[in-house]
Amino acid sequence: MIIKRGIAVSPGVVSGPALIIGTEDFRIPYKMVRADVVEGEVEKVKVSLAKVATEIAESERVASERIGKQYGAIFGAHLMMAQDPKLANEIEELIRHRRFSAEFASSQVLRKYAKQFQDLGDAYFAERATDIFDLEKRILRHLLGERREDLAHLTSPVIVLSRNLTPSETAGLNRKYVKGFATEIGGHTSHTAILAGALSLPAVVGLGSFLSEVSGGQMVILDGNRGEIIIDPDDETLDRYKDSAEEMRSVRKRFELLRGLEASTKDGLRIQLQGNIEFPEETEMCMEHGADGIGLYRTEFLYLGSSTIPSEEDHYEAYRKVIAAMNGKPITIRTLDIGADKIPGYFSHLYNGEANAALGLRSIRLSLQELTLFKIQLRAILRAAVGADVGVMFPLVSTLLEFRQARATLLDVMEDLEEQGIEFNRHVRIGMMVEVPAAAIMAREFAAEVDFFSVGTNDLIQYTLAADRSDPAVAKWFNSGDPAIMRLLKNVGEAAVEHDISASICGQICSDPKFIPVLIGLKFKTFSVSPQAIPEIKEVIRSLDSQRIEEITRKVFTFDSARSIETYLQGELIKLCPEVTR
Ligand code: PEP
Ligand code: MG
């Protein structure tokens, strides 16, 4: 049994056979075989190794002829490995003594070798591990033949394990069979993590290198609450997980009781508790948990989930679905936030060779450059908003001029619709995300021009602390409780009060219960959180009163490090709401 710890990004505990994608690309259907087929399995390995050796020899010949002998020699090393009798013997032994299938035994042996190289901690040897994965892939291709199954053709439940998953790959996961996923890289607020929550898929990211320690088909427990995966669990662990499933059920029951109650503090301060969504289907969970509306609809997933550019009608239909499902409650639709890690295939030409996508042509910058595309979306929003309480929100605004241009484009589109006699809502609220430090600093000037603010702390933290939100190597700098973040939030909250506009937060900070008291103390009265976090956050709000909020907020501003702020807030949370712990 091996336990790996990473970052818990989407709750839930699931177990099942591992499907390793990226390195393996296909699934091993059986781990064990019957005694009477053992000899057949051994024979299969021999035949496959021979075929692989012929294949590599051919690659060596072609490479030597076309690009030179020194390149051909690269395959020479692969060939030696494939023909090494020790390799064949080890695989054979696992089949004979442990009755492993040919595929599972081959994968186990090669991954053991790869891990030995990786553990040497040297770049040269790490490359050799890649060579071994390559060899594994070749052997499995022969062994599995037609039984090769990729993500698109799953036929039974799996836990997906991968080095990384892009947001579009995550969006495309087949929810019928994929029970959860775990990745070596990725951070707490990466879009992949957010999507996992949206899809209600238990997920752990940022596990560091672990794929060489697990083989396809091996039993895995994925614990999205604790941020762990357990490879090949023993019986005691399996029993322990059965008990914790019971506990989860009782917590869920308690949360159900909260559904019909308001998100108000003990002394009557009403907080709007809304949901963040990526797909129209998520409105169901928002309504189930009693959300006061949708505070952030990330519309770019309409693009990421399809291979062609969505039409105005595609947009319109998606928005109408959300509006109808929310039954008169307010909805904030964010215009496209494409760029950085969210790039659909048909836009990849715009990003070729971009040095740093997070600082590049992202979000509103892209929309203002691709005006035709932007206008299609704005037309659809305005048409869909008829009879509904809708806010249009521009992402990643960094200057006043940019906001003005975006708003002018929206007004332009209104004129076009008017002229064409098409029905639309002229009274949509027009707001912006505050997620670039420049916008947070200039909050007063912005507040004089916008209808509302919504703070995107995921990006605000990334840009303020210069820590990539999806890179676990810099996760220790990516702290929601950093005093610099607290100060920026204070500035935004005060600016909103001075100009009497609404200020909400839609970044992941407010899905973390310990931050709720200080965020209310900083004058935010609307929170838009992951739908599954709604009951927990409501419980915290209902445990608070103004005096406590004020005390906690004052105290937070006496600390000078993220660690002291977060430790203090966690301590207060335990006192306030012992049953809500993270
Ligand atoms: C944010 O940046 O905090 C935010 C809510 O937007 P996204 O996570 O989609 O970048
Ligand atoms: Mg953002």
pLDDT per residue as tens digits for the range 192-227: 888 888 788 899 999 988 887 888 788 899 999 889
Beta strands across the sheet bearing 13-21: 2-5, 228-231, 219-223, 13-21, 158-162, 178-183, 203-205, 7-10
Which residues, listed in sequence order, are joined to residue 159 by a DSSP beta bridge?
18, 180
- The pLDDT, as a whole number, for residue 555 is 98
Cα of 460 to ligand 2 centre, how many Å? 8
Dihedral-angle region of residue 47 (phi above 0 means left; psi in -120 to 50 means alpha; beta otherwise): alpha
CB 292 within 8 A of CB 273: yes
Q: Whose CA is nearest to atom 9 of ligand 1?
A: 298
Q: Is 506 a catalytic residue?
A: yes
Give the DSSP H or E segment for 203: strand 203-205
Count Cα atoms within 13 angstroms, Cβ side, for 468: 14
Q: Is 427 a catalytic residue?
A: no
Helix spans in 475-560 (H): 483-498, 516-521, 534-542, 546-556
Cα of 12 to ligand 2 centre, how many Å? 25
CB 542 within 8 A of CB 263: yes
Please identify which residue in the block is written with the tokens 């029951």: 253
Q: Which residues of the chain have pLDDT under 70?
A: 22-30, 70, 123, 146-152, 168, 245-247, 305, 352-355, 581-582
pTM (2 d.p.): 0.73
- The pLDDT, as a whole number, for residue 375 is 98
- The pLDDT, as a whole number, for residue 195 is 80
Domains of the chain (ranges; CATH) run 2-12+150-254 (3.50.30.10), 35-144 (1.10.274.10), 257-581 (3.20.20.60)
Ligand 1 pocket test: which of 338, 457, 459 has the largest number of ligand atoms within 8 Å of its C-beta?
459
Give the DSSP H or E segment for 499: none
- The pLDDT, as a whole number, for residue 582 is 45
Distances (CA, A) of 382 to 88, 254, 390, 412, 424: 66, 40, 9, 12, 5
- The pLDDT, as a whole number, for residue 107 is 87
Cα of 435 to ligand 2 centre, how many Å? 6
- The pLDDT, as a whole number, for residue 563 is 97
What are the two backbone dihedrals, phi and then psi, of residue 528, each rounded to the nearest 5 degrees? -115, 120
Closest CA to 538 of 270, 331, 328, 282: 270
Which residues form ligand 1's pocket by a CB distance below 6 Å? Answer: 194, 296, 298, 337, 435, 456-459, 506-507
- Catalytic residue selected from 191, 289, 510, 577: 191
Ligand 1 pocket test: which of 335, 506, 508 has the largest number of ligand atoms within 8 Å of its C-beta?
506
Cα of 290 to ligand 2 centre, how many Å? 25
